[in-house]
């Protein structure tokens, strides 16, 4: 199940700050029709940090119902509060999600033992496949390969979204255990897969789902020549989507493609005019607008 191109799906908002549920369903259909292997709602790209728990649960429920078992749904259900993470993960299980994405506790900066106990508590409380999420640029702390290997001994901790930006980290994890590694960085998907990763949880897939699915499919089949060709073509897009804090650029791109309104929840806001022009040019060069 944890193999392929999984989209880290954005959450569309209206000008009054409410969530555009109809637009959210349409984005899911856009993804499935274009070959995305799985849907990941309510992660960092989905702005879960500014959702209430009721909103987060609502979006997970909508995602599961809309997908209707056509592809896996891996629900964002993490928190820096272990009790809250367990509650969200229980809801993901109850809603019918196929798995849960659980971010490393942010701000608290737990020790490796604290990280282990956090994840072990979630896994013990909820019988659902769990994908760890290592993103030190957001959390302020990284999961060591040794802690990942220790966690992988728990039956339902089966994958990790690795967004440390380090190929050494990926190589160490793969050498220590057999947990499934997915890239958390679009630009590193190909090199990570060359090291043994099985796919990506992708921001870029929001706007180029077919290309990301094809890149991953080629790499899984060890057709690295074709995978490199797609990677090279998409590299300017990968860079442009992180010219400002994610998901500001990707939601801007989707708005330029007439798929969502150009709205965020504070403290995120619109791009600067200079960066907007840079993004627009990349999208035009890629014939996306």
| Residues annotated catalytic, as ranges | 133, 161
Give 38's strand partners: 6
What one-character-per-residue DSSP string does 194-244 give? HHT--EEEESGGGT-HHHHHHHHHHHHTT-HHHHHHHHHHHHHHHHHTTSS
- For residue 247, is the peptide bond before it cis, meaning its omega torsion is within 30 degrees of 0? yes
Q: Give how far Cα 191 sits from Cα of 82, 146, 151, 225, Å.
A: 33, 22, 24, 13
The pairing of strands 4-8 and 74-76 is unpaired
Query: What is the CB neighbour count within 10 angstroms for residue 76?
Result: 29
């Amino acid at each position: 199940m944890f193999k392929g191109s999984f989209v880290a799906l954005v959450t569309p908002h209206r000008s009054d700050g409410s969530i555009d549920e109809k637009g959210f369903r349409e984005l899911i259909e856009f993804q499935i029709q274009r070959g995305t292997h799985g849907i990941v709602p309510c992660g960092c790209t989905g702005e879960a940090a500014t959702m209430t728990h009721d909103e987060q649960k609502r979006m997970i429920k909508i995602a599961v119902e809309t997908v209707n078992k056509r592809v896996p749904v891996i629900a964002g259900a993490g928190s820096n509060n272990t009790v809250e993470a367990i509650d969200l993960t229980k809801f993901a299980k109850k809603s019918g999600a196929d798995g849960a994405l659980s971010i490393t506790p942010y701000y608290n900066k737990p020790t490796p033992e604290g990280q282990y106990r956090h994840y072990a508590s979630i896994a013990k409380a909820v019988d659902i496949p769990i994908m760890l999420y290592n993103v030190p640029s957001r959390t302020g702390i990284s999961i060591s390969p040794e802690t990942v290997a220790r966690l992988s001994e728990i039956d339902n901790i089966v994958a990790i979204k690795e967004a440390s930006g380090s190929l050494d980290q990926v190589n160490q994890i793969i050498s220590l255990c057999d947990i499934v590694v997915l890239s958390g960085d679009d630009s590193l998907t190909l090199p990570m897969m060359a090291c043994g990763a099985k796919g990506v949880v992708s921001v870029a897939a929001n706007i180029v789902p077919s290309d990301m699915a094809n890149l991953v499919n080629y790499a899984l089949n060890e057709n690295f020549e074709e995978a490199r060709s797609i990677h090279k073509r998409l590299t300017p897009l990968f860079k442009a989507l992180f010219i400002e804090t994610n998901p500001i650029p990707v939601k801007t791109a989707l708005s330029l493609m007439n798929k969502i309104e150009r709205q965020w929840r504070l403290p995120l806001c619109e791009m600067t005019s200079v960066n907007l022009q840079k993004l627009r040019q990349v999208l035009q060069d890629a014939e996306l607008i």
